[in-house]
């Protein structure tokens, strides 16, 4: 039997593409632009595996191919809310993701956003680059201290825990956790964390709220106008999870009227299009989905996809099967 054909929807780090080619016939997207649904359908009809990213909407209508050749959708990324899992199952395809390898870097970015927004780093950089900084003064761009404050972590999976670790051991923050299921007390004890059963309890007491739950329908607008109104006026919201978890119109209102102090966002509903209302908020730090964007992590994500594919085509269960 010849090598399986795998269709890669975006360019990957060179070393990963090279390794991929040693195992498979690889079809690359030379232009590295997000693909049209018709191209994704063609890929499903002609390739043994589809290797998508967050920029590909693998919805029911894309998966509805008369004779799909694809048996495995091996996602490059931990979040897979852009893949319709039920539809993939119906078409007899399995789905894998890339957990673990991006937890540390995504947590680092949550800390980056937390510090940038609380210390007004984005505002300061914009001021300096625009040539309007007129020198040091005691009241210039005063922000808030992060050390010793209360961090509310929403979703206590791998990335939430890595963020808690950095915040607690690096910045002496007290950790409050909200999670769908009960977290093992020994895990909470590692960070001296407390778990609350009601999200509102976390929102009312936290100085920083950091989102680490999955996207998808069940968490859509988890943070809405009502929930934002529970936050302290001095508090910050950090989102490195998925844009849809936050009602961004409500968030823009809260930022504009300063009912919360600021937000640090790495992900957006409908990205890469950003709501003008958010763009206009000086108290928001906005990054272009950089959570896992280090060479080490992006390579590790690719190698993890390869491990899943090799296992699958060898007739074994891939380690990171999610459906
Ligand atoms: C990825 C992410 O870079 O893995 C995820 O879920 O959000 C990002 O860090 C992106 O999703 C790749 O598909």
pLDDT in tens, 243-282: 999 999 999 999 999 999 999 999 999 999 999 999 999 9
Mean pLDDT, the chain, whole residue set:
98
Checking if the pLDDT of 1 tops 90, the result is: no
211 has a pLDDT exceeding 80: yes
Question: In the prediction, which pLDDT does 200 show?
Answer: 98
User: How high is the pLDDT of residue 126?
Assistant: 98
CA-closest candidate to residue 194, choices 218, 175, 215: 175
pLDDT band at 189 (very low <50, low <70, confident <90, very high): very high
Residue with the two structure tokens 């849809």: 244
pLDDT for the residue numbered 198:
98
pLDDT band at 39 (very low <50, low <70, confident <90, very high): very high
- Tens digits of per-residue pLDDT, 75-126? 999 999 999 999 999 999 999 999 999 999 999 999 999 999 999 999 999 9
Ligand 1 binding residues, C-beta < 6 A: 53-54, 76-79, 102, 106, 291-292
Instruction: Return d(Cα 210, Cα 111) in angstroms, integer.
Output: 9
pLDDT digits (tens, 9 = 90+) for 299-309: 999 999 999 99
Give the residue whose CA is nearest to atom 4 of ligand 1. 77
CA of 128 to the centre of ligand 1 (A): 32
pTM recorded for the entire structure: 0.97
Give me the DSSP letters along 240-298. -S-GGGB-HHHHHHHHHTTSSSEEEES--TTTTS--HHHHT-TTEEE-SS-TT-SHHHH
Pocket test for ligand 1, best of 289, 297, 322 (most atoms within 8 A of CB): 289
The C-alpha atoms of residue 227 and residue 167 are separated, in whole angstroms, by 23
- C-alpha of residue 78 to centroid of ligand 1, in Å: 6
Active site (catalytic) residues: 242, 271, 289
Confidence of residue 223 (pLDDT cuts 50, 70, 90): very high
Q: Is 148 helix (H, G, I), strand (E, B) or coil?
A: coil
Instruction: Tell me the CA–centroid distance for residue 77 and ligand 1, in Å.
Output: 4
Measured in Å, residue 51 CA sits from the centre of ligand 1 at 13
């Amino acid at each position: 039997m010849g090598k399986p054909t795998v269709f890669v929807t975006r360019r990957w780090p060179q070393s990963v593409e090279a390794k991929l080619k040693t195992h498979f016939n690889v079809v690359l997207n030379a232009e590295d632009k997000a693909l049209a649904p018709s191209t994704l359908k063609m890929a499903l009809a002609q390739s043994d595996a589809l290797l998508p990213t967050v920029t590909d909407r693998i919805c029911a209508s894309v998966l509805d191919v008369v004779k799909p050749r694809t048996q495995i959708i091996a996602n490059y990324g931990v979040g897979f809310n852009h893949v319709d899992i039920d539809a993939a199952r119906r078409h007899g395809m399995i789905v894998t993701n890339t957990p673990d390898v991006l937890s540390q870097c995504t947590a680092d970015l949550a800390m980056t956003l937390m510090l940038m927004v609380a210390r007004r780093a984005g505002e300061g950089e914009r001021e300096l680059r625009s040539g309007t900084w007129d020198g040091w003064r005691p009241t210039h761009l005063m922000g808030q201290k992060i050390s010793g404050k209360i961090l509310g972590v929403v979703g206590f999976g791998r990335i939430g825990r890595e963020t808690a670790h950095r915040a607690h051991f690096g910045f002496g923050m007290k950790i409050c956790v909200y999670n769908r299921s009960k977290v093992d007390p020994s895990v909470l004890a590692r960070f001296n964390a407390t778990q609350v059963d009601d999200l509102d309890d976390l929102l009312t007491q936290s100085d920083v709220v950091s989102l680490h739950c999955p996207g998808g329908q069940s968490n859509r607008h988890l943070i809405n106008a009502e929930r934002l109104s529970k936050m302290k006026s001095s508090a910050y919201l950090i989102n490195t999870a998925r844009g849809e978890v936050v009602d961004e119109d409500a968030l823009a209102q809260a930022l504009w009227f300063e009912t919360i102090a600021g937000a640090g966002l790495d992900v957006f509903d409908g990205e890469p299009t950003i709501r003008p209302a958010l763009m206009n908020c000086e108290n928001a730090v906005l990054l272009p989905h950089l959570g896992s964007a280090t060479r080490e992590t992006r390579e590790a994500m690719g190698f993890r996809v390869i491990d899943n594919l090799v296992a699958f085509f060898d007739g074994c269960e891939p380690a990171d099967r999610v459906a």
